[in-house]
Each structure stands twice: as structure tokens, then as C-alpha cells.
Structure 1
Amino acid sequence: MRTARLITALCVALSALALPAAAAEPPGKVSTAATPTDQLQPGGAGTRVVNGQRTTVKENPFVIAGLRAGGGGPQGQSCTAAVVGKRKILTAAHCMIDVGGAKSYIYGDDDLNTAGDETFRTNVASYKVHPRYTGPNSWQNGYDVAVITTADDLPVPENQWAKVAGSGDSALTQPGKSGTAFGYGRTSASGGSGVLYKATMPVNDANNCQVFNVRVNPDVMVCIGYDNGRVATCSGDSGGPYIVDGTVVGVVSWGASGCDRYSIMGRLTNEMGDWARGEIGGGQPGDGKFTVALSPSSGKVEPGKYISTSVTTKAGEQGQEKLDLAASGLPSDATATFQPTSITSGDVAKLTVETASSTPKGTYKVTVTAKGASGAKTADYTLTVGDGGSTEGPKPSATPNSGTVAPGGFANTTITVTGGTGTINLRADGLAFTPMFMPSTVNPGGTSRMSMAAPFQRGTHKITVTATDSAGKTGTTEYTLTVQ
């Protein structure tokens, strides 16, 4: 059992709560970080709740409540989760690792305080946590995500499963976006729990969220909500989904022990989401019941010129539906135009990609997304700008090229690669824990965020970044990490 002085994992369901500004900690004060599990202790926060909205499973059929033997909420409720497959549930890793007791799930009940209202119960057959979640309290370093396999089929139709984000969805967690969090957690640090709530909260720049005794790492975390406690996650909300534009982009991970400041999500718009989707397996929920293709699927254009292709679609068994078209993965200073921007499945649209004279030469994968009532489908277009790159090989650079952190802390830098041909793979050497790139491959002119976990030994470390293009040519740069 953790005390209010300890950093604890936020496993319990998420209620869209808020405290009056008078009850919130002063913005300049450093708050104790904790996880919203059923072990969260009252942190002196007030009991008045504002801005939380009651909701139902009927309205949000992907929400499911996590129980554990000895759990502190009604019927042992401890965490919240999302149904993502026939027997698959998405939640926080700390919901499985950091608290004891046999785990099970209950579905279909909006208020767990009255037993017998549920439509379904099942036990956990097995679970996997992200491989970088290495043990209790690892949520402090991120990677707080788990995929559970249930003992029984979940009574949720495929078209109502929650859709999980991946590394291609980074735009969904950009500061300024807004999403909704769900959970069965407390309505304040000392309030009641077991009732399903939802709350709408914005995505913040992580630089503005460093108000805890644990660092908010934007590479593996998403900071949402407010610093005055008017809306926040709390005990019982851990593992609950945070949804932006219909996609789960984060799971409730941690926040202030008093439930009165920002809420921190485990980020899924990166390799964490890719890992989760791989563990879930099968097609993603919401995959459209239609087909989409590009003809031709590749083309070459000189900088400052444009090129076009046809977007072809075919209706599925359920008949025609309206499809909205969008493109991502464009090189810098390039634009995509659809004529028209919306079509009926079975029709054809024209896609024109226009480059600028400043668009870097290289080969790019442009992804076209068609979104309809039955879900979304994608098709890829290989765009070559100029000769596709430089014959001199890739040249990586780091900005900044050095950093100073405390033992065990995190450092980040942006790697930009110029030159090279085709897809360029990135790797880094020089630390016991291999640095992570997001994304791990780029095209000429592309950028990637390199995140490093510093060793606990003080000193200076040289990290060598190597870029290898599709022709086998390499280039290197160095980053100096000082631990003090």
C-alpha cells in the first residue's frame, strides 16, 4: 500500500473531475506524482467536483471496468480499460504489475456501487506489458501500456471496438488537440468511485507540464488537462482510454496525488501504439468495409512541379457510403489536393501532390486515408522528388548536439538526415540502454526524435548516430550526453 508521499501508479478508473481553483496547488509548487489506482491516498484535495459528466456503456461500448481481489473500489474495481478485440483489452501496464490480487473485468455496468447490473464478467487468461516497462513504478519512465487476453469472448461487436493509435498518428497528440478520457475512478481524491464518467481535456505542450517530482517525457507520455484541477483523472481511472478523433491515443498513467493538476497519459502515437496493435493482432477495429487503391501507386516529380494519381474505391457488402479523403507523409513544403475531397465508395477521385522548389529531394511514402461510416482504410503512394536523393550518402546531424541530465534521467534531440537514397535506417551506439528513434526510419530531408535514458553513473558519454540508406551507404554524427 503506497502512502501519499510515494509515487504510486494511477490504476483506477478515470472520472472527469475537477476541483475548485482554491483547492488546487499553487502553479509554482512541485506536486507528488502518483498513479490513479485504487491505492491512491487522499492528498488533501477538496471534495467539490465540477465539469465531470456521467456517461454510459451504451454510449461508449468500448469501456470496461477492471477489478482485482482486494481492490479498493466498488466490487474491487481498480482500473479502467478499453475493449480492442474479440478477447483483447487495452489498459495501463501498472494495472497489472504494480498492484496485487487476481484480475478480472466487468462489462455493461454504469454504476458498480449496485451489484448485478453488469451484462458480462470474465477473468484474465494472460497479459503482456510493453517490454520497456520493467517492473513496479516503471510508469515513471513511461511505456505504461498493456494488452490483456480475456478468458471469454467479449460481448462487444467488432465495429464498436476502440481503435488504437500508432506511430503514423502523431498529429493526434499535438498540443492544441482535444480529446475525451473515460473512467470509473473517484470524483476527487477523497470522493466516491465506481461510476462511469467522461471528461474532455486538451493536449498540452509537455514543457508546460513539468510541475511534478517526476519528469513528463513527451516521447512516451501525453500531458492533458489543466494545472488548476478543474478537470483531472483520479484513483480508479488508471488504464482508461483517452480518445482523440475516434482513436485511443493514450491510456491513463499518472498525475498529481491530489488529483488536482495535469493528467499524464501513456502515449500511443509512437512505437508503443505499434507494439500494442501488434499484440492485439488482426485488423484494427473500424477498418472500413470498402477498398481503396491508388493508380498509379508511385510517381516522380521535380522540385517545384506537381504530379497526380487516381484514388479508386469499391463499396463493401454493406453498400455505398460517403468517404472523406486525406493525405499524410508529405515531404516538407508539399501540398496534397483531392478533387473532390469526399466521394461515394465505388467512385474515383484525383489526388494532386504539388511540391515547392524548396522540397528536399528524396523518396517518400504518402499515405492516403479514406474514412467512412464503417471505418477507415489507407493506401500508400511512393513519391520520388528529383533523383530520389544524393549519391553521396546520408548525412545525419543532431540539434542540439549535447545535453546534460541527472543520473537516470531522459534526454532528447532531433536527428535530421540530408542526402542519401530511399529509406534511411537510424541507430545509436554508446549507451547501455539503446536510444529510441521515433520514427526509426526517415527519407532524405526527414527528421526523427532520439530519446536517451541516461546511465546512473556520472560522467560524459559519446553517442554515435549512424544513418544507413537503401543503397548501403552510411553517415554518422555524435551527441554528447553529460550525466551530473
Structure 2
Amino acid sequence: MSITPKGAAVLRRVDQSHRVGRRIGAALAAVLLLAVGSVASAADAPEGGSVAESRIVGGVPADTADHPWMAALTTPSGDLYCGGALVAPDKVVTAAHCLVLPSEQGVRVKPRSDVRVVVGRTDLRTTDGVQAGVRSIWVHPRYSSFVEGEDVAVLTLDRRINVETAKLVDLGDDRLYSAGTPATTLGWGRTSENGTTSPTLRSLDLPMIADADCARSYPEYDSAAMVCAGYLDGGRDACAGDSGGPLIAEGRVVGLVSWGDGCARQNSPGVYTRLIEYRTMLAQQTGV
């Protein structure tokens, strides 16, 4: 089993034809990255491992006109590596592992100058929508690894983006995590584990999975910090590069794409941050 984050993918504009490239960030060199790329070669995979890729697998095209709060996290040069949700005009909720770098002291937060946020850009090859810089980054103070939980962070933007914002799960909305509850996730990741990437936003409908079933798939699973969604028979899933993107149930952001074993593999559903567990902290950080 290759437990991997579903983030740190890079969607790179290589030339005027907008071919999609791929790189592996040094920050996550210790783990197998589920990275975006036009071709996943054997050279990209760790010895004995496989390359899992970062795009909604088994999904359908989506439009930011229908999801105006959907955010892409990019490098200053425009390379996509994670997703997020705009929950206030200047606040984006995303996964902590999208915003930290390993160090001898554990983890350290990326410089805010390394992060850009784009909202309203369905096709990342265009210049549509609004791009903002980051004024500050909050990462859950107990975050150390995506498999240990607390995989949540908040970006404060350097400008307000005046579009419809996403609604966060409310305290008391525990029923939204019940097995079988319909949910939707979105992102710009690959459409198959070893396939090519599409630069356009995609969405996937998928059900919540019972904690007991998820625990059978992943000994690391912690129901106090995580929730699984997807299909135990495989075929449909979020993938790396989709990390930090929202899991929506009944119009509320209930989770964030976090980690899993590859993409859309049998008995390996996607694991998401269980946002209700961090709702009080998020209210403090976002004001909503």
C-alpha cells in the first residue's frame, strides 16, 4: 500500500499550446506523490511503487459559474498544486499538507509569497477569474502528517473576491457524515491514475462511506479527524492535485480532499478531512 497525499501536484503551462507538464516537489520527496502530468513515466515513480495522479477520476466537466467559490492554489508562475474553497471574500479553506514543508523541526509553513489563489477560472489555460496573493497562512497547530489528521488550513487573501462563497458545515450537522449520504467533490486532477490531465475543472458525485468500512481499508484511519467517501469497488475517486478541494454535502463543505492509496483503486476510497471537528477553530479563523 502506498499511502499518499492527494496534493502537491503541479499543472504547468509548458508552451503556447498549453501542454500539461508535471514535477515532483522536493517538499514531499519522502512520499509517493500523486502528481499531475501529461504522461506518468516509470521514472516518476519510486522504486517498487506506482504513480497515482491528480485529477477527479470518473467525474464530469464542471464550471466555476456553478461553483464560483472553487479555488485553485498555484505557484507565482501559475502552476496548480492544490484546490480550496472560498468561504469568505478573503478566506480560503484548504488542506494543511498543501501549505507545509518538511524540516528538521517537523513541518514549517510555506512562505506566503509562494502561494497564489485563483477563483473563477474553469480552464486553467486561460486568464479568466481573479488571482489573489496571500496575506497570511494558518495551519492547524497540531498538524504533523496527513495520515495523523488535523489536515486543515486557512489562507487570508490580500484582496476581497466578491463572488458567492461556500457554506461551511455547521456544528450539529453530523448526519451529513452518515454512510450513503450523497456528496460531491471537485478539482483539476488527472482523470485516471496513469492517464493524462485536463486543465478544466471536473466534479464527481460520490457517497459517504461507513467508518468501519474505511478503517478496514486503512489502519491509519481516524474517524475523529477524517471521513471516507467514494466506492469500495473503485473506479471513481479524487486524486492528488485535488488536495484541499471541497467535499460538498447538501450545499455545505463537509470535508477536504486529503489522502488515499492511489486513485480509484478497489477497497481504497478517498480520505477527507472531517471539517465538523474543526468548526470552532474555522469560525475563529474565517469569521463564518
Q: Please give the range of the TM-score, normalised by the shorter of the 2 chains.
A: 0.7 to 0.9
SS in 1 for 2:221: coil
1:390 match: none
> Deviation at 1:57?
0.3
Matching of residues 23-422 of structure 1 within 5 Å: 43=50, 51-68=58-75, 75-98=78-101, 102-112=114-124, 114-116=125-127, 118-133=128-143, 135=144, 138-156=145-163, 160-190=164-194, 191-210=196-215, 212=217, 214-260=219-265, 261-270=268-277, 272-281=278-287, 284=288
CA distance in 1, matches of 2:71, 2:118: 6
CA distance in 1, matches of 2:36, 2:138: 21
RMSD: 2.9
CA distance in 2, matches of 1:166, 1:98: 30
CA distance in 1, matches of 2:85, 2:141: 20
Who wins on radius of gyration, i.e. which is larger?
A: 1
> Deviation at 1:95?
0.6
Is the Cα–Cα contact under 8 Å of residues 85 and 161 in structure 1 kept in the other structure? yes
Code of the residue aligned with 1:173 in structure 2: it is Y
User: Higher relative contact order at CA 8 Å, sep ≥6: structure 1 or structure 2?
Assistant: 2
Code of the residue aligned with 2:174 in structure 1: it is S
CA distance in 2, matches of 1:45, 1:129: 26
Is the Cα–Cα contact under 8 Å of residues 221 and 265 in structure 1 kept in the other structure? yes
Q: Is the alpha carbon distance of 1:37 and 1:171 closer, same or farther for their aligned partners in structure 2, counting shifts above 3 Å?
A: farther
CA distance in 2, matches of 1:142, 1:35: 18
> Deviation at 1:223?
0.5
Q: Is the alpha carbon distance of 1:98 and 1:169 closer, same or farther for their aligned partners in structure 2, counting shifts above 3 Å?
A: farther
CA distance in 2, matches of 1:262, 1:98: 26
CA distance in 1, matches of 2:279, 2:198: 29
Is the Cα–Cα contact under 8 Å of residues 35 and 52 in structure 2 kept in the other structure? no
CA distance in 2, matches of 1:144, 1:35: 17
CA distance in 2, matches of 1:103, 1:38: 18
TM-score, structure 1 normalization: 0.47
Code of the residue aligned with 2:173 in structure 1: it is D
Code of the residue aligned with 1:203 in structure 2: it is M
CA distance in 1, matches of 2:32, 2:2: 7
SS in 1 for 2:199: coil
| Residues 125-176 of structure 1 deviation map (CA, whole Å, 9 limit, x = unaligned) | 111111221x3xx1111111111101111131xxx21111143211111112
| Residues 222-279 of structure 1 deviation map (CA, whole Å, 9 limit, x = unaligned) | 1000123221011210000001011100000111124423011000122x12211221
Show structure 1 runs of 5+ residues with no match: 14-32, 285-484
Is the Cα–Cα contact under 8 Å of residues 34 and 254 in structure 1 kept in the other structure? no
CA distance in 1, matches of 2:162, 2:185: 22
1:433 match: none
Percent pairwise identity = 31
Code of the residue aligned with 1:172 in structure 2: it is L
Show structure 2 runs of 5+ residues with no match: 10-30, 103-109
As a proportion of its length, which structure holds more helix? Answer: 2
| Residues 55-86 of structure 1 deviation map (CA, whole Å, 9 limit, x = unaligned) | 1000111101111258xxxx310001100112
Code of the residue aligned with 2:87 in structure 1: it is V
Is the Cα–Cα contact under 8 Å of residues 221 and 266 in structure 1 kept in the other structure? yes
> Deviation at 1:45?
6.7
Code of the residue aligned with 1:107 in structure 2: it is V
CA distance in 2, matches of 1:211, 1:187: 26
| Residues 3-46 of structure 1 deviation map (CA, whole Å, 9 limit, x = unaligned) | xx864422258xxxxxxxxxxxxxxxxxxx97756599663679
Instruction: State how many pairs are aligned.
Output: 245
CA distance in 2, matches of 1:208, 1:115: 41
Q: Is the alpha carbon distance of 1:229 and 1:57 closer, same or farther for their aligned partners in structure 2, counting shifts above 3 Å?
A: same
CA distance in 1, matches of 2:206, 2:33: 18
Structure 1 range deviating more: 37-46 or 258-267: 37-46
Q: Is the alpha carbon distance of 1:251 and 1:146 closer, same or farther for their aligned partners in structure 2, counting shifts above 3 Å?
A: same
As a proportion of its length, which structure holds more strand? Answer: 1
Matching of residues 1-40 of structure 1 within 5 Å: 7-11=3-7
Is the Cα–Cα contact under 8 Å of residues 166 and 277 in structure 1 kept in the other structure? no
